[in-house]
Amino acid sequence: MWAAGISGETSGGGELEMGFDQLIEHLNFALMGAFEARHQRWAFGADLLYLNVGVDDGGTVPLSVASGDRIDLDVSADAKTKGWAVTPRAAYNLLDTNRFRLDALLGARYLNLDADLDLGLQAGRFGTRRRIAASVVTWDVITGAKGRVKLGDGWSLPYYADIGAGDSELTWQLGGGIAYSMSQVDLALWYRHMAWEFHDGDALSRVSFNGPMLSASWRF
């Protein structure tokens, strides 16, 4: 489970911010997973993340005008964010000792993200609405490294880093934590950050997912 929040900005300067507590409260659907197959020094795998979040809320704000009268301002907001992030990759083991493991990796990252905010203001007979919508679809080539520092007695410090570009100006990911290995299961507590920066003229300026992650891996 990745307790991730979303942070971003549209090309027009609109902020997209949603913490993990808000994601859980308004989550429609989420899917996250990863797999890896190894043969000798080679490994092939992918990880994916899907989120569908919707917030529909409103309220009334009392306003006082110069005449002394009070006007009730009705405010409504409908915000939706959904998207895929998929990272297929191949890795080659460069070093594997009783203390350290290092794999070099090469792969790609796919992002398909839609963000939509509909804001309404109504005061008596007068009202206005503003809609902010942004959508991006990108493929980027990435390269990086992953592995672990072995502490002994089943404990280790896993790490992951990649960087790339392509349809986006820059994408990168960092992760690290602590893990415990049993006979066929690895349990790990990570902190993970995945981000994109987009070209001028794209609907979004930047977007990122970050937060702690608890994972369980099975070896076959």
pLDDT band with cut points at 50, 70 and 90 for residue 67: low
pLDDT of residue 69: 63
How much is the average pLDDT of 91-107? 97
At position 32, the amino acid (one-letter code) is M
pLDDT of residue 197: 95
148: β partners: 101, 158
The pTM of the full predicted model, rounded to 2 decimals, is 0.80
Assigned domain for 189 exists: yes
How much is the average pLDDT of 51-57? 73
Q: Over the stretch 139-166, which tens digit does the pLDDT of each residue have?
A: 999 999 999 999 999 999 999 999 999 9
Annotate 150-162 with b (16+ C-beta within 10 A) or e (fewer). beeeeebebbbeb
User: What does pLDDT average to over the chain?
Assistant: 85
pLDDT of residue 162: 98
Assigned domain for 71 exists: no
Q: Which residue has the higher pLDDT, 61 or 174?
A: 174
How much is the average pLDDT of 96-109? 97
Assigned domain for 68 exists: no
Which domain does 189 fall in, by range? 5-56+81-111+136-218
Q: Over the stretch 124-133, which tens digit does the pLDDT of each residue have?
A: 666 677 676 7
How much is the average pLDDT of 177-200? 94
What are the tokens at 77? Answer: 């907001």
User: Would you say 193 and 174 are in contact if contact means Cβ atoms under 8 Å apart?
Assistant: yes
Assigned domain for 76 exists: no
> HEC string of the chain?
CECCEEEEEECCCCEEEECHHHHHHCEEEEEEEEEEEEECCEEEEEEEEEEEEEEEEEEEEEEECCCCCEEEEEEEEEEEEEEEEEEEEEEEEEEECCCEEEEEEEEEEEEEEEEEEEEEEEECCEEEEEEEEEEEEEEEEEEEEEEEEEEECCEEEEEEEEEEEECCCEEEEEEEEEEEECCCEEEEEEEEEEEEECCCCCCEEEEEEEEEEEEEEECC
How much is the average pLDDT of 93-113? 97
Rg (CA), the chain: 22
pLDDT of residue 192: 94
pLDDT of residue 37: 94
Assigned domain for 195 exists: yes
Q: How many domains does the chain have?
A: 1
Assigned domain for 70 exists: no
Euclidean distance between CA atoms 118 and 116, whole angstroms: 7
Assigned domain for 122 exists: no
Question: What share of the chain has pLDDT > 90, as a percent?
Answer: 48
Assigned domain for 72 exists: no
**pLDDT of residue 173 exceeding 70:** yes
CATH number for position 176: 2.40.160
First and final C-alpha spacing in the chain? 21
